[in-house]
Structure 1
């Protein structure tokens, strides 16, 4: 087996079970491993530390899999999938939800693999060369564990380029999913476009947070920004909201939302869709004197890396300042960040700055996080990407 030897003093993170070894920590490579090959990692003295995927093109040179000197074979990989499925048993047997994340990359010791279950179909994203090499075994085990009608490849993210992989999409096994797959989450029906929708087709990481926001929505006017297929909008309507406005810039999102409204709501006069840039639309609402009781801000990732943090912080502050301007005393702002580089303390500080600029005083009354099928390993805090706050305007 090929071997990566670390520079002196660079073994601490590995011993603390962090799954990434950066290229700058490597002293030398013994052998000629190809990208995606499993290699051993040793300290500067040559003592064994761990095993993981090697990739010469990636900033993360080794993605660690195992901290014991055991064989990483087909049985090992199958057990990883089986463990991931078993940990989701509660969700998989839920009567009112048939959407969940089955594999969450490093959190499930499957670095570079995302698997989402949408009713009878699986949507798969492969972001690492190591997972690409064992794809056939993993797909076979997913079929054995879950018996899906079909498994669809959505490995079209830019992250693959960092691993020297080309984008990939299309059916991997079984039936091609229909244009729209009907699923159930929190008792609400959604039509999901697996092949063309954002990410893997749907954002199931907001499942619990949608219910929390909905619990405040009865009789209220709700503004759902970056609404996509209407998760927050539909939960609010289902909870008795008086009126909901959904804003998204994507024509596909607005079209999908319209289908979902038709699927769930008998009184569609309580809902309005607006296809527009959210920041421009917030300013238009402000200039028109519009007010809401609840504003939901669930933007895309503003800070893909720490180098973008300053720019992202300004964008988050401006967005939330505008959202606050549409709320009077007692109004609620449910605001989120899915940028891993923005931790909850920085996010609170950004909101404090936004409130100051908006001439508002806010209270943080609930903190949002990822659901149980998006777990965070204690040794890998980077996996905690989704955070949010429910703020009351004083």
Structure 2
């Protein structure tokens, strides 16, 4: 319980940050609590477990959470290594639709850097916003003014919302799921942004990149944030094996002088190997890359060390 209180104190700067009510409160072993993360969205707390906890261990942890912070609403996500394969057959076991503490809620609205996002805690393992991308989204917002943005694997379109808030001329969001794109449209409306269905495209990202390249379309900022593994009707993707090929396709639709924002959250992929794959992909596209910038999660709520390196890697390249 004392470790939970200490983690709460380490996030004081985020709790006091205007325009942000979504952050990671506990980041596993880096906070002395292995295999556990806790994410906060307004008053909602989402506890994720990354190994098989016994019922007694779960109850003890939730009791410590109550004693340390007294949160009004807690949801539980069980994420053992095989969770990706079980998600469709054991969803209620992995991600109960009801709160495990307090009253259940259908949704809450959380703030990040002045933008609002709809969080749905009972929708599955993912609740609508990946918090480790907060600093990268802020960077995109600063760079977006007057520019065109392509947001690939857009999920609920958080990059699109922040780019539009930053003054982007146009944002095209592409994701395989129409359901999450509609969620993204809701996020845009929450922020008073106009919604054009033509800018929310449901389809295979790889097919769309080839189509955009054939049409000669190009964008000033191309954000590539794929899942570590993805399967659609027409393609299969593994970040560890296929990122260079994805970078090639994405580089072909970056305008001259534009930027490729390549992201990867696969913990087992070393940063240097990731950067090499991105560079190889860009070169295969016949593009020259200028000086690169590496971004990543905020050290305030995603502390990293040699023992506990950050899973998220973000590489920004300017392409000639």
Within-5 A mapping of 1:89-238: 89-129=12-52, 133-155=56-78, 157-159=80-82, 167=94, 169=96, 170-178=98-106, 180-238=107-165
Task: Tell me, in whole angstroms, the C-alpha distance in 1 between the residues paired with 2:190 and 2:164.
Answer: 13
Matched with 1:284 is 211
Cα offsets for 1:306-352 (capped at 9, x unmatched): xxxx9644411111111110023201111111111222211121122
Secondary structure at the aligned position of 1:363 is classed as: coil
TM-score, with structure 2 as normaliser: 0.88
Shift of 1:137: 3.3
Distance 1:345 1:258, change over 3 A: same
Q: What's the RMSD between the two structures over aligned residues?
A: 2.5
Task: Tell me, in whole angstroms, the C-alpha distance in 2 between the residues paired with 1:142 and 1:322.
Answer: 45
Shift of 1:198: 4.8
Distance 1:105 1:160, change over 3 A: farther
Shift of 1:375: 1.1
Task: Tell me, in whole angstroms, the C-alpha distance in 2 between the residues paired with 1:171 and 1:200.
Answer: 13
Contact 1:226 1:299 in 2 (8 A): yes
Shift of 1:263: 1.0
Of 297, 301, 309, the match for 1:373:
301
Matched with 1:7 is none
Contact 2:164 2:193 in 1 (8 A): no
Instruction: Say whether residues 1:388 and 2:311 are aligned partners.
Output: no
Q: Which moved more, 1:147-156 or 1:131-140?
A: 131-140
Task: Tell me, in whole angstroms, the C-alpha distance in 2 between the residues paired with 1:192 and 1:133.
Answer: 29
Shift of 1:111: 1.4
Shift of 1:175: 0.7
Secondary structure at the aligned position of 2:138 is classed as: helix
Task: Tell me, in whole angstroms, the C-alpha distance in 2 between the residues paired with 1:131 and 1:388.
Answer: 36
Contact 2:129 2:158 in 1 (8 A): no
Secondary structure at the aligned position of 2:48 is classed as: strand
Shift of 1:176: 0.2
Q: Which moved more, 1:286-295 or 1:191-200?
A: 191-200
Distance 1:93 1:139, change over 3 A: farther
Task: Tell me, in whole angstroms, the C-alpha distance in 1 between the residues paired with 2:49 and 2:5.
Answer: 18
Instruction: Say whether residues 1:273 and 2:200 are aligned partners.
Output: yes
Of 178, 182, 187, the match for 1:251:
178
Shift of 1:222: 0.3
- Which of the pair has the greater relative contact order for Cα pairs under 8 Å at 6+ separation? 2
Number of residue-to-residue matches in the alignment = 306
Task: Tell me, in whole angstroms, the C-alpha distance in 2 between the residues paired with 1:290 and 1:260.
Answer: 26
Structure with more of its chain in strand, by fraction: 1
Matched with 2:234 is none
Q: Which has the larger radius of gyration?
A: 1
Shift of 1:255: 1.5
Task: Tell me, in whole angstroms, the C-alpha distance in 1 between the residues paired with 2:154 and 2:195.
Answer: 17
Contact 1:124 1:200 in 2 (8 A): no
Gapped regions of structure 2 (runs ≥ 5)? 231-236
Shift of 1:270: 10
Shift of 1:285: 1.0
Secondary structure at the aligned position of 1:236 is classed as: helix
Shift of 1:168: 5.2
